[in-house]
Structure 1
Amino acid sequence: MKEKDLRIDELRIVRMIAETASGSKAAQLLDMPQSNVSRALNALERRLGLEIFIRHPRALILSEFGEQFLRRADILLDKHNDLLDMSGTWKRSLNGMVTLGAPIGIQAFLARYLLPPVLRSAPELTVNILTRNPDEREQKHGTLFDSDCDLLISFFQPQDESLIARPLTRFRMGLFACADYIVQSPLHDVDELAQHRCITLRTLGGIRNSWHCYNAAGESIQVEVNGSSVCDNILPAIELAKQGLGIVYAPFYSVAAELEAGTLQPCLPRERGVNMQAWLIYRQRGVLPHRVQVIMDSIMESAKLHAHRLV
């Protein structure tokens, strides 16, 4: 090995520091002592004779050279991962972990209907379910794909056009409240929402949301509502609605248990809800790891079998 040859571990460290802007956070995510991370970065910069990061009191920021270096390092790391994945695929091994990112509201549906078939048929597979709730920016500009995900379920297509986004399933949205709220403040049509307490989501705009429904005439309309409460994911929003504190706009699959238990009820008939699209997103690679391909194909097939539960 030549003196200035680059090591894959060094490139991983540079990429993780760039993503976190912190040596300590990078060390935690890489499961390494922080001293080793700092030592590796300093040694690499000395060998190159150039600064990759500018040290600020609270953050490590890429230098101009560092930005160019990282761009090329990303290509090398992806090629390296392709080589490793090709080797694993060659052996057709299912051993290993697949990290699946998904919004918290769909995880119970995943665990109940979509994942059991593949986990029963391939017990050597390990699935790591990662909570990945999109934010308001992703609604406007497209979803972000975390570097630690193999697959990502999202309601928005990706910003990065090099990623693959397969239509996973369509799902129906609805308006829900507890029985006492509906008795005291019935909702007859969507244009009355301005008179109601609404529980809004940060994903959909924060305190002011745009809710999409069909009115009594069967016309698809968007209604602007102001939140009496604002939540950054669907679970606390559902709980507030169960406590009689307003109406929540949510997928039917997210409130399936509450509807069955009677703790929530639809404010309007099911057919008044609109259907939305969920996407299964993954990296475009020459060779997709066999274990990822198996999980992806099984989820797609199970989603078709249980589509009636979603719409």
Structure 2
Amino acid sequence: MELRQLEAFRAIAETGSFTRAAARLNLTQSAISQQIKALEDELGEPLFARTKRSVKLSPSGEVALRQVDIILSSVRELKGQFQAHRHLACGRLRVAAASQAIAHLFAPFYGEFKKSFSQIELSFRTTISTRETIEEVLANAVDVGFASLPVNSPELEVEPLFEDELALVVGSAHPFARASSVTVERLRSERFILYEPGTSIRQTTDSFFQQAQLAPEVAMESNDTDFINGMVKIGLGISFMPRWAVVEDIKRGDLKAVRVKGWKMRRSVAMVWLKRYQPAAVKTFLNFMRAHSKALQKRASGLIE
């Protein structure tokens, strides 16, 4: 059953003529006759009593017309609602990112987005790795994900948004805390508290260890940024962490960010979403993040000048 069949049926009922109904709908008489035949075949009842001079509703047609009026009225109301709000984004929006990024990096922007677009229901899904974020987007479990590059999937749109840099983070009582930078050689005797394997931070860290030909002594592994902070503060090891994750600790003097001479450990972070038509809520969020990319970049990279 198609909407055009119902529109043809009502036009004939109102005009009492296949010819006049066809003219109203800009169809040929043959086309409108085929639509009514298909509708009658599907319903299993004749909808019109046809004579040489007139076309009248059959008893079944009278019953059908009441329902068709309700259906077409509902369709018209639905169209009107969307046309009235076509410039106003609304609906549900699902975003995924690593838990530490949501808590320490994106939270202020999400808060501003919710204030600016209160009609959009924004929800979050935390992930432990870029791989999990990508899987969530591909499974349509979320609308937009934030993931470290590279992201290779023909099904996804990938738009770089900002870069961040991992800093060597030590406790305030550690000998490195008195230096602005250290050499790779001085790291060989240190114990490290690292993010767990599979996370983008750990992948960047492991790449550094490999290139620097450094076999780290791993004291602990965790995906809990606050836990790593706490362990580094009390001197159980040192860590490589995103600058944005330790801003407040450095301001308080609990931690110190130190450069490794000759090395910069950078990551590019992108927005990812499925290659398909996106609803207004998703487009609004993407444009919001683009508009705030400079502020996001500043927040992500403001610890060490």
TM-score, normalised via structure 1 length: 0.59
Do the aligned partners of residues 294 and 203 (structure 1) sit closer, same or farther apart at CA in structure 2, a change above 3 Å counting?
A: farther
Paired residue for 2:160?
167
Instruction: Identify unmatched segments of 5+ residues in structure 1.
Output: 2-86, 214-219
Q: Are 1:241 and 2:235 matched, yes or no?
A: no
Counterpart secondary structure, 2:93: strand
1:293 positional shift = 0.9
Give the one of 117, 133, 150 matched to 2:128.
133
**Contact in 1 for aligned 2:182/2:259 (Cα 8 Å):** yes
1:270 positional shift = 9.8
1:261-280 → structure 2 map (5 Å cutoff): 261-268=252-259, 273-280=264-271
CA deviation profile, 1:173-195 (whole Å, cap 9, x unmatched) = 11101111236997731232221
Give the one of 93, 96, 104 matched to 1:101.
96
Do the aligned partners of residues 222 and 154 (structure 1) sit closer, same or farther apart at CA in structure 2, a change above 3 Å counting?
A: farther
1:104-253 → structure 2 map (5 Å cutoff): 104-107=99-102, 108-112=104-108, 114-134=109-129, 138=131, 143-146=134-137, 147-182=140-175, 188-203=182-197, 210=206, 212=208, 221=212, 223-253=214-244
Distance 1:131 1:242 in 2: 26
Instruction: Identify unmatched segments of 5+ residues in structure 2.
Output: 2-80
Counterpart secondary structure, 2:89: coil
1:144 positional shift = 2.7
Do the aligned partners of residues 277 and 184 (structure 1) sit closer, same or farther apart at CA in structure 2, a change above 3 Å counting?
A: closer
How many residues get paired?
215
Give the counterpart letter for 1:131 in structure 2.
T
Distance 1:200 1:152 in 2: 24
**Contact in 1 for aligned 2:105/2:300 (Cα 8 Å):** no
Do the aligned partners of residues 284 and 260 (structure 1) sit closer, same or farther apart at CA in structure 2, a change above 3 Å counting?
A: same
**Contact in 1 for aligned 2:129/2:198 (Cα 8 Å):** no
Counterpart secondary structure, 1:293: helix
Distance 1:299 1:271 in 2: 33
**Contact in 2 for aligned 1:165/1:279 (Cα 8 Å):** yes
Give the counterpart letter for 1:173 in structure 2.
L
Distance 1:191 1:169 in 2: 31
Q: Are 1:304 and 2:284 matched, yes or no?
A: no
Computing the radius of gyration from Cα coordinates, the structure with the larger value is: 2
Do the aligned partners of residues 198 and 300 (structure 1) sit closer, same or farther apart at CA in structure 2, a change above 3 Å counting?
A: same
Counterpart secondary structure, 2:278: coil
1:143 positional shift = 4.2
CA deviation profile, 1:127-148 (whole Å, cap 9, x unmatched) = 112111217xx49xx9433431
Distance 2:159 2:213 in 1: 26
1:248 positional shift = 1.1
Supply the RMSD in Å over aligned alpha carbons.
3.5
Distance 1:228 1:185 in 2: 23
Paired residue for 2:245?
254
1:242 positional shift = 2.0
Paired residue for 2:56?
none
CA deviation profile, 1:229-286 (whole Å, cap 9, x unmatched) = 011343322222122211111110111121122211113379954321001110111x
* % same residue: 14
With 255-264 and 225-234 compared, the bigger mean Cα shift is at 225-234
With 168-177 and 88-97 compared, the bigger mean Cα shift is at 88-97
**Contact in 2 for aligned 1:181/1:246 (Cα 8 Å):** no
TM-score, normalised via structure 2 length: 0.60
